[in-house]
Structure 1
Amino acid sequence: MEPIASNTLSTTYVLKDSDCFIVADAAGDIEGGSDGFFHNDTRLLSYFRLRLGDSQPALLSAAVSRDNVMFVAHLTNRPLPPLGGPPAAQGMIHLQRERFLHRDRLYERIACCNYGQEIVRLPLRLSFAADFRDMFEVRGTVRATRGELLAVESTPNTVLFRYQGLDEALRSSVLSFSREFSGLEEDTGEFVLDLHPGVHEELYLECGTTPAEPPSPKRFRDAAVQARATMRSRQRRTGQIRSGGPLFDAWMDKSRADLALLTSELETGPYPYAGIPWFSTPFGRDAVITALQTLWLDPAIARGVLAFLAHHQAQEESAFLDAAPGKIMHETRKGEMAATRELPFGRYYGGVDTTPLFVTLAGAYAERTGDLAFVERLWPALRAATEWIERVCDANRDGFLDYARGSSTGLANQGWKDSEDSVFHADGRFPRGPIALVEVQGYAFAAFRAMALLSKRRNDVDAAMHWQERSERMREAVEARFWMSEAGYYGIAVDGDGALCRVRASNPGHLLFAGLPDAERAALVAANLLTPAFHTGWGLRTLASDQVRYNPMSYHNGSVWPHDTALCAAGMARYGDRAAASRLMRGMFEAAVHFDLRLPELFCGFSRVQTATPVAYPVACLPQAWAAGSAFMLLQACLGLEIDGWRGEIRVERPMLPPGIDHVTIRRVVVDSRRVDVVFQRQGDRVSTHLEGRDAAVVPLRFVG
């Protein structure tokens, strides 16, 4: 047996709960870099390593449980020198590390068993450090100065780290153990265990921001039960998907579990944090798109996202925060650098698309649920958001929703492709601002349409007519200014000089999702996206391969983002092309299989003819909320399933099943207060649909087209 040492593995294992998460290697060790145990954007453990004396245990296996609650690593010893007794040969000692997070605390059990014939004295050594680095420091930001790391304090079974930040906050990290140290140096504690043959010995530890009762088997078990119950309750909200394909079901289950992992229960309701490690915090755009992806299965997420974003809506002008009255938040952070305003991201509003997406989600939520009472509570926030959109559009020569950052510390590009090189002219030149992105105009169009429909529900005819007229003006302006007739496609942006950036990117696929183009132009956009210049066989590139800044290994200029592909697929399906949606879903599913059924934030844009497997992007977030949610948006695009909350009915329009799948059942779909199972079954060259469950007889099922 030649186990691979854990430090040769690049795979990391992630757990999250509320505002804390941990990233560690397969052995459970934290070795620095971007790994660590984080709470509120601050690293509480920057180093945490298990050794048997001076020897690194050999890794047997590592995994996270299917519900994303428990990390388990199985390890064994390499040959151990004698320590007051006979040496232990390799493979005689089994170590099992079990770890989970609950209520912002790390819980761990290290269980040891001697399978030899002699008593073994086992020196467990745990090395640890807490650097209290802000997440932006971990990401690479260099600070001119930092706060003060205070002296480490210890008791016979605890180690206390403290840091006095520049924001005058005292941050603490407390490691507690169920046994007293046999020996303790500044950064290493040792526990010497006498292991009798066949006998199990255990060490329990906890880490958090405050001291607690000493770790014990009961505390570990009780907290584990509560952590699993919390995760189960999150997953119960979402309809479960079952098909004739075990691997397909496993992908759906993994995506569902990842969304549950990333969703935090805030005072305003459930909110999906964007991704781990870099974006484990509330983001506006990411959460709204995740809510749109899952709305048909779990409207509670959309409600929680809308409530949180309305509560944090901007009330004042701030160039530093890119804020203006009515604008919806882009990002919020709780770390030291946000508190000292070294960066503007404490509560930052530098996203041009979040505000129209917020309004669009509110309209979609109302259509899905018929919950007009909640819309009434949101109405002041919706009015303020739409008035901000109108103010910006009115100041633009073409009536477009544009952006220009208010401060040099903010984001230069403020659409979803927010890297500095993501918007450019056909010759590679960067445009002068303000910049109007093509997909953002689609979001604004959808927001005006949503406000018109909601106003009709509120019996405000004048407001409905006003916003309907605004939406049509936006449609006409986009068609006149963005369309490139020679390419049969839309340009990516109009710059501050009124010049069109004649670049073919994936952005116009979002126009289809918004429903802005006419059928003829929508078909041309879809045809472009399905050519080899965009379609890799795994998914859609963010930039066509024949464009000047194309790089399949870049962040936004030729990589594949699952959420982007899903939005384009949903747009194609909106115009009736379910075959295209099915084709894109197949590619995403096959990519997911190569990524252990967990789609990353993005991956490289190499085509399938170049590589036998999709190529990972090295620092992509994994898991990522809108990547996980993509599976459900793609499936809905194939099935043509919509839920009309106003009528309390399910609509199905020309459904298709994913390739290789003969039946799909969506369990526990909520329609008003009723639950049904929606069953799709392949029958020859068509797909039939019917309802099952106790409420099947009272929920209308209507076929369209």
Structure 2
Amino acid sequence: MFPKTTVSTEEDKFHIGGDIIYVDDRTRVLNHFDTFGIFDQWGDIHPHARKLHGIYHEGTRFLNRLELRINGQKPLLLSSAIKENNQVLSVDLTNPAFSDCNMPENTVHISRSQFIRNGVFYEEILLANYGPTSCALNLSLQFGSDFKDLFEIRGIERKSKQPKCELLPGDEKIVFEYKGLDDITRRAEVKFEDTGYQIKRNLCLYTLELEPQEVQQIHYSIFFNAGDSELETIKYTEVKNAIREEQQTAHRIFADIVTSNEQFNHWVSRSKADLLSLLSQTRYGMYPYAGVPWYNTAFGRDGIITAMETLWLAPEISKNVLLFLAQLQAREVIPEKDAEPGKILHETRSGEMANTGEVPFGKYYGTIDATPLFVMLAGMYYERTHDRETIVEIWPNIKMALFWIDEYGDIDKDGFVEYIHKSENGLTNQGWKDSHDSVMYENGDLCEPPIALCEVQGYVYAAKKYGSLLAGIFDENELSGKLSTEAGNLKKQFNENFWDSELGCYVLALDGNKKPCRVISSNAGQCLFTGIVDEDKARMLTDTLMNANMFSGWGIRTLADGEKRYNPMSYHNGSIWPHDNALIAYGLSLYGFQEESLRIMNALFDASLFIDLQRLPELYCGFVRKANEGPTAYPVACSPQAWSVTVLFMLLQSCLKISINASTKTIVFDKPDLPAYLEKIHVSKLMVGEHELSFDAYRHEFDIGFNVIQKPPGWEVIIKK
């Protein structure tokens, strides 16, 4: 029916290899909007070939070297941490022993405070002498730049020879400049606030005389410019004060959550801070960038799912996501970008290789699921907020997305949405598992396109259900009825064609000839939260997902142990993704399987306790849980990753079973349950319309108690037990 395709190593060209490492596994990450930095524990950056250390801006590594030395030696490390607000890297160092000046170690305390703000890196260095006599020190800062594109660091070879980076001569500042193949000039300018320094090419040297108990300070900043843009010079202290003020403003978009468990409270605080650090100001409003380092840009699917995970307590994020994606919706057929009218963006990038077309991701639409997810989010957002004004604004975009589903998404007009990539340089697989080998038959052979993924049919079902709801509010009754009928037909057809009673699971996909991929995968679990699963199949599917070959103790694997391509160390074929688990847990709670939903919540909370900063990464390995050991890390996982750090909020929604419907002015807790480690949850400042909701939930031995402290006037709070 469809031509046979072959798989080559080229199809795995966007895989991130394990040989791209962080120098060591104890790195520190700072990020703000389009700029992020990867440092070692000392606050340094090392120029090691393809290693990841560096400060990146708009997809390019502007700085690949930043090394502080005292009297030519590396200081001794005392402590290093990202502060709780996720904005500042705080490092405490001291001097090694200097025999030439008779200075014992631990005499001088060196404090480094670093942060990134609006395309600028700032550092404050404080030196305090705790010795009994004065001491003379030479402090040096050495800088370097290579202006490598992020995709080049990921391992993709350049098609043309890269121009060289230039170090411009100067006595007052250090400037690196590079004119790329895209004709954009990029510059990194190191500027120093204080006096008493000397510049020698890429080295800045301070000669300091410290009296006993004296403290001296050094301030400098690095400006990252692309094109004609010029960044305003603002002093370190002024920027730090501005950060505090904006942090307070940003936190207002979230409800406050406090529990009886301090470790859980830290998880809440860390998750909130991580998401705020990834919320980036764009031309179309704030948007959650996907993750550092590989995906520090706008992704359609990632942004939508992050919005869904936070919708109940921070609906403004969903509004911004919808408005952003509506603006970038495809308007024409562009095969090299996998773009078609009505299709929602997969990702957008602004680095040199994207600008020159060496990679297709400048503005790329190779995703099969972002479009139905966009419509689904719009319906969920309307139910949550009754924000008619926003829905009116994007209603043409919603209708275009629904048009794309039928006209372009359903390639062979069989009622299912499937994909085959059209861009020669694009993604082969276009679901959320977009590795080249993530869709396979039971014998391990790769699936022949066009491919209809099981969870995508669930997204389409939900999109048509919500599309019907939204059409109704515009009195487009014919469209509303049509979408409702189509949703019902799709659910029936899906359960007939995708369900495999022998597996006790929905098959992963159907190929172009409607041959099923009879493997057990987590994709089937995501069908639950869309509502496409028949009630009589939900119990069996739940048992399959929670079986030991899927549930490792740290969460549900992407692929069952025992399948031909199972590998717990793979990206998509046996690993564990927190966001995947949160969506499954939420779906289980909707079908009444609260015990299983809580098992997933418990697993992810336990995993967070073993992970640095209690920050759940993009993914971790799918090995079986061992006593007194944490989950095994995946070597190049993004962290922070937006849809991972926000899983906590969807898990809380799942256990509280809270639904907020602004159309009916009801807040429902439908048979909630709390894990054993949470005796109490206090939620306050949860915005419902123009008013706030505050409540306490208590765990008793056989029941959950509630105390509604504040509710919006005219609203009803319903607690079902």
User: What is the distance in 1 between the residues matched to 2:368 and 2:281?
Assistant: 27
Contact preservation (8 Å) 1:156, 1:180: no
Give the alignment partner of residue 78 of structure 1, picking from 73, 82, 96.
Answer: 96
* Gap change, CA 1:610 and 1:243, over 3 Å in 2: closer
- Per the alignment, residue 4 of structure 1 pairs with none
Change in CA separation of 1:410 and 1:628 when aligned onto 2, cut-off 3 Å: same
Q: Name the SS for the 1:149 alignment partner.
A: coil
2:142 alignment counterpart: 127
Work out whether 1:583 is the aligned partner of 2:606: no
* Alignment pair present for 1:209 and 2:224: yes
CA displacement 1:16-35 (0-9 Å, x = unmatched): 11211111111101114112
1:157 is aligned to 2:175: no
Contact 2:522 2:556 survives alignment (8 Å)? yes
Per the alignment, do residues 523 and 166 of structure 1 end up closer, same or farther by CA in structure 2, a change over 3 Å counting? Answer: same
The residue number in structure 2 matching 1:310 is: 326
Aligned runs of 1:328-343 on 2, under 5 Å? 328-343=344-359
Return closer, same or farther for 1:96/1:514 CA change in 2, 3 Å cut-off.
same
2:525 pairs with one of 509, 512, 522: 509
**Equivalent residue number for residue 638 of structure 1:** 655
CA distance in 2, matches of 1:417, 1:268: 28
Match status 1:43 vs 2:67: no
Residues 174 and 202, structure 2, Cα contact 8 Å, conserved in 1: no
Give the counterpart letter for 2:257 in structure 1: I
- Map Cα deviations across residues 647-674 of structure 1 (whole Å, 9 max, x no partner): 2221110010122211111111111111
Are 2:464 and 2:484, in contact at CA under 8 Å, matched by a contact in 1?
Answer: yes
Aligned residue number for residue 477 of structure 1: 493
Range with greater deviation from structure 2 (605-614 or 483-492): 605-614
CA distance in 1, matches of 2:153, 2:617: 20
Give the SS at the match of 2:335: coil
For residues 81-92 of structure 1, the aligned pairs below 5 Å read 81-82=99-100, 86-92=101-107
Among candidates 631, 639, 664, match of residue 622 of structure 1: 639
Matching residue of 1:277:
293
Q: Does 1:114 align with 2:129?
A: yes
Alpha-carbon deviation of 1:38? 1.1
Q: State how far apart, in whole Å, the 1-side matches of 2:345 and 2:410 are.
A: 22
- Return closer, same or farther for 1:336/1:238 CA change in 2, 3 Å cut-off: same
Query: Judging changes above 3 Å, is the alpha-carbon distance between structure 1 residues 667 and 410 closer, same or farther for their aligned structure 2 residues?
Result: same
2-side partners of 1:605 and 1:528: how far apart?
16
Deviation (angstroms), 1:378: 0.5
C-alpha separation between the residues in 1 aligned to 2:167 and 2:190?
A: 11
Question: What is the TM-score of this pair, normalised by structure 2?
Answer: 0.93
Q: Is the 8 A contact 1:69 1:231 kept in 2?
A: no
Shift of 1:525: 1.0
Amino acid at match of 1:429: D
The percentage of counterpart residues that share the same residue type is 37
| Matched residue, 1:661 | 678
| Residue in structure 1 matched with residue 697 of structure 2 by the alignment | 680
Match of 2:688 in 1: 671
Letter in 2 for 1:256: K
Change (3 A) 1:246 1:538: same
Q: Give the distance between the partners of 1:262 and 1:213, measured in 2 at CA.
A: 23
Shift of 1:158: 0.7
Query: Which one of the candidate residues 552, 558, 564 is aligned to 2:580?
Result: 564
Partner of 1:531: 547
User: 8 Å contact 1:586–1:659 — kept in the other structure?
Assistant: no
CA–CA distance in structure 2, aligned partners of residues 162 and 269 of structure 1? 31
Would the alpha carbon gap of residues 608 and 212 (structure 1) be closer, same or farther in structure 2, given more than 3 Å must change? closer
CA–CA separation in structure 2 for the residues paired with 1:146 and 1:87:
51
Do the aligned residues in 1 keep the contact of 2:190 with 2:221 (CA within 8 Å)? Answer: yes
What corresponds to 2:570 in structure 1?
A: 554
Separation in 1 of the partners of 2:476 and 2:231?
Answer: 56
* CA distance in 1 between partners of 2:462 and 2:139 (Å): 60
1:422 counterpart letter in structure 2: S
Q: How far apart, CA to CA, are the structure 2 residues paired with 1:288 and 1:335?
A: 23
The aligned residue for residue 3 of structure 1 is none
Pairwise CA distance, 1:145:
2.4
1:213: Cα distance to partner? 7.5
Select the residue among 293, 301, 307 that pairs with 1:291: 307
Out of 461, 467, 483, the residue aligned to residue 477 of structure 2 is 461
Hey, what does 1:65 align to over in structure 2?
83
Partner of 1:602: 619
1:204 to partner: Cα distance: 0.6
The answer to whether the 8 Å contact 1:156/1:181 transfers is: no
| CA displacement 1:436-490 (0-9 Å, x = unmatched) | 1110111011101110111122222111110011112211221121111111111
For the 8 Å contact 1:437–1:494, the answer to whether it is kept is yes
Stretches of structure 2 that go unaligned for 5 or more consecutive residues are 1-21
- Asked if 2 retains the 8 angstrom alpha-carbon contact of 1:240 and 1:666, the reply is yes
Distance 1:473 1:585, change over 3 A: same
Distance 1:25 1:125 in 2: 17
TM-score (norm 1): 0.96
Shifted more, 397-406 versus 547-556: the winner is 397-406
1:411-440 deviations in Å (ceiling 9; x for gaps): 011000001111111101011111111101
SS in structure 2 of the partner of residue 692 of structure 1: strand
Contact 1:55 1:80 in 2 (8 A): no
Q: 1:678, CA displacement in angstroms?
A: 2.2
2:343 is aligned, of 327, 331, 335, to 327
Q: 1:166 to 1:676 in 2, by over 3 A?
A: same
Structure 1: tracts of 5 or more residues without a match: 1-6
Partners of 2:197 and 2:593 lie apart in 1 by 68
Residue 568 to residue 171, structure 1, CA distance change in 2 (3 Å): same
Bigger shift: residues 472-481 or 298-307: 472-481
| Residue 17 (structure 1) aligned with residue 35 (structure 2) | no
User: What's the offset of the Cα at 1:611?
Assistant: 7.4
RMSD: 1.7
Work out whether 1:372 is the aligned partner of 2:392: no
**One-letter amino acid of the structure 2 residue matched with residue 126 of structure 1:** L
Cα distance in 1, alignment partners of residues 392 and 446 from structure 2: 43
Change (3 A) 1:130 1:697: same
8 Å CA contact 2:508, 2:519 repeated in 1? yes
**Cα distance, 1:517 vs structure 2:** 1.1
Q: Using the TM superposition, give the Cα deviation of residue 235 of structure 1 relative to its aligned residue in structure 2, in angstroms.
A: 1.7
Contact 1:392 1:400 in 2 (8 A): no
Once residues 170 and 436 of structure 1 are traced to their aligned partners in structure 2, the CA distance between those partners, rounded to angstroms, is 44
Q: Is the 8 A contact 2:146 2:165 kept in 1?
A: no
Q: Which residue of 1 aligns with 2:4?
A: none
